[in-house]
Amino acid sequence: MQTAVTIRDVARLANVHPGTVSRALNPHTRGLVNEETAARVLTAADQLAYRPNSIARGLKTSRSMTIGVLIPDLTNPLFPPIVLGVDDRLTRDGYTPLLVNTGSDPARERASIDAMLARQVDGFIAATARLDIEPLAVAMAAGLPLVLINRTFEDGSVSACTVDDRRGSELAVRHMIDLGHVRLGYVAGPQNVSTGHRRYLGFTAAMVAAGLALPPERVSYAGAFTEAAGAQACAAILRADPGVSAIITANDRLAIGCYDALTAAALRCPEDVSIIGFNDMMFIDRLRPPLSSVRVPQREIGYAAADLLLEQIGNEDTPPREVMLEPELVVRGSTAPPAR
């Protein structure tokens, strides 16, 4: 069943040799064949609704035209746009993404990676959170091209596509300062992931640059990018310095947690405390108040990552490259001048 029609059927109908059909149908080799016969083959092909069997092609060429795409958690609104961007770029060149949600189960993760390797993927794009992840090692050992999303090996040994996290934090600080805030607090994300760390660095750098004081108790570290962790961290800051008038966070979900902490402390946003998130997640503009946030061009990141990968697949020895995209501050209702 399926595509019973093979290259041989087309050959018979067009009265040529299968080899010729192959050449005529392949854009690269069409030049090798008489224009007239090529035309005959083409019509025969779509008369029979011929579809090249990419499995067979892959076996022959030892390129599967598939790319493994590792996503930690598809239900996190951050990732779907990235996937779309990756998909856009990949399909443009005839590649098919093999998506895998690496999730939290290492066993399943390993199995998925193995499956992709068995399927002869031509490369990997990994947006996965952990760096200790095995497949990366496996992939690199196998000489497979690899591009990281939103994280890097700091030694620059592997290509990556990220947003300029430091710059994003700077934008947030600048906005708060422009509004008149001077007592800024920061809810940091986990410091063992590059986004968490770099956003934090950007924040402190911007504070220093602005000549503002930053007592340690106005920075609180969330153990995870969750609402609960954000609420806890925010509460700690409010406790340590009730006079804080603006809080910048490393992530929208942490910001949501801040909303909760403010509510619990009977404080209002933005009247008492202004808040800025990071990522500009979908629906974040639907919160009350709508959250000001640093927008990350997720889709573009995915696209650029795929682009990087294809580049590497193209020429074996392209040096690893890191692409950094610009974030943008989206101002909404969660930021206002301090009451004072």
Partner DNA sequence: CTGTTAGCGCATTCAT
Partner DNA sequence: ATGAATGCGCTAACAG
**Binding residues vs a second copy (CB under 8 A):** 1-3, 51-56, 58-59, 62, 64, 74-75, 77, 80-81, 83-84, 87, 91, 94, 96-101, 108, 111-112, 114-120, 142-144, 256, 282-283, 286-288
Q: Which is nearer to a second copy, 234 or 287 (CB)?
A: 287
191, interface contact from DNA, a second copy, none, CB < 5-8 Å by kind: none
Cβ 45 to a second copy, closest distance in Å? 13
x-or-dash pattern for DNA, window 297-326, by CB under 7 A? ------------------------------
340, interface contact from DNA, a second copy, none, CB < 5-8 Å by kind: none
Q: Is 192 in the site for DNA (CB under 7 A)?
A: no
Stretch that binds DNA, among 16-24, 90-98, 159-167, 323-331 (CB under 7 A): 16-24
Stretch that binds DNA, among 36-44, 177-185, 225-233, 264-272 (CB under 7 A): 36-44
Spatial separation of the C-alpha atoms in residues 115 and 291, rounded to whole Å: 41
Q: Which is nearer to DNA, 35 or 271 (CB)?
A: 35
Cβ 100 to a second copy, closest distance in Å? 8
What residues between 42 and 101 interact with DNA by CB under 7 A? 50-53, 56-57, 59-62
Q: Which is nearer to a second copy, 87 or 280 (CB)?
A: 87
The residues that touch DNA, with contacts defined as CB under 7 A, are: 6-8, 15-20, 22-23, 25-26, 28-29, 32-38, 50-53, 56-57, 59-62
